[in-house]
Amino acid sequence: MPTSPAHSSAFADGKILMGKTGDGVGTITFNNPDKRNAMSLEMWEGLGEALVALRDDQDIRVVVLTGAGGKAFVSGADISQFEQSRHNAAASEAYAQKSAAQRALLAAYPKPTIACVRGFCLGGGLQIAMYADMRFASEDSQFGIPAARLGIAYGYEGLRNLVSLVGPSQARLLLYTGMRIDAAEALRVGLIDRMMDADQLMPATLDIARTIAANAPLAVQAAKITIAEVLKDESRRDMDAIKRIGDACMDSDDFREGRRAFMEKRKPRFKGR
């Protein structure tokens, strides 16, 4: 069984790599280690293409996001593009629009996503990790949003996930100071869900991803949809969506298969319908 992703496609001139483990797990790797995987607009585009390809691949049930090079997940937006494309409010708005579709894709991704973080996870990189359903990180990883050091304002979209993960006071501490925190602190405040030895991180992440991939896809989707609705303002909550996926689950072949497999003391084989 492979322990690290095999890369099968490349986007953004190879700065975004996409792979499949062969057992239901898709991987996306930010691959510009010389710049600590800083996100250029081209990489955002490539990320979107990889996300769409894995979303539309029936064999893929879980997506793992990771960074190449061992030193960073993503060190934030590529600051070298700021002088030209993010130098004032209007340019900044246009800049944000260029990655809006990809961010929306990540925010509403229909399959479970896991950010597997090694090294620096900063600014826009942390934002990407926070869009994922879960974050696993190595002991040597570091997290922060240095926006105040650069003079950048983080908008609603950027901060909603942070506040919901760590609460308002920890969010203020991170934002007001621009400080970096280590993995132990990130675990303590709820920014990450697991902390592991660096050499165990990817194999352990893939193990969990495979466990999810082997479960009934509709049941996993029901959990994902319902938890997302719980996090929305009550006025915007779609209770019908929860009912629909609940009914789809309970009427599914997979539920029948799950019951039978249990009674027959064998592993279930789920089809996602």
Least CB distance from residue 221 to ligand COA, whole Å?
33
The beta strands (E) that lie in 21-61 are given as 25-30
Ramachandran angles phi, psi of 26, nearest 5°: -105, 150
Closest Cα to residue 144, out of 104, 106, 169, 176?
176
Which of positions 118-177 make contact with ligand COA (CB under 6 A)?
Answer: 120, 122-124, 146, 150, 152
Closest Cα to residue 161, out of 135, 139, 187?
135
Rank residues 47 and 219 by Cβ distance to ligand COA and give the closer one.
47
Q: Which of 18, 25, 28, 38 binds ligand COA (CB under 6 A)?
A: 38
Least CB distance from residue 9 to ligand COA, whole Å?
25
Name the residue whose CB lies closest to ligand COA: 76
Work out the number of other CB atoms within 10 angstroms of the CB of residue 211. Answer: 10
The beta strands (E) that lie in the chain are given as 7-11, 16-20, 25-30, 62-67, 72-74, 113-117, 120-122, 134-138, 142-144, 180-182, 194-196
By the rule CB under 6 A, 36 interacts with ligand COA: yes
Count of residues that bind ligand COA according to CB under 6 A: 17
Do the Cβ atoms of 23 and 67 come closer than 8 Å? no
Binding mask 89-128 for ligand COA (x = CB under 6 A): -------------------------------x-xxx----
Choose one: 74-82, 131-139, 166-174, 238-246; the region binding ligand COA (CB under 6 A).
Answer: 74-82
Q: Which residues bind ligand COA (CB under 6 A)?
A: 35-36, 38, 71, 75-80, 120, 122-124, 146, 150, 152
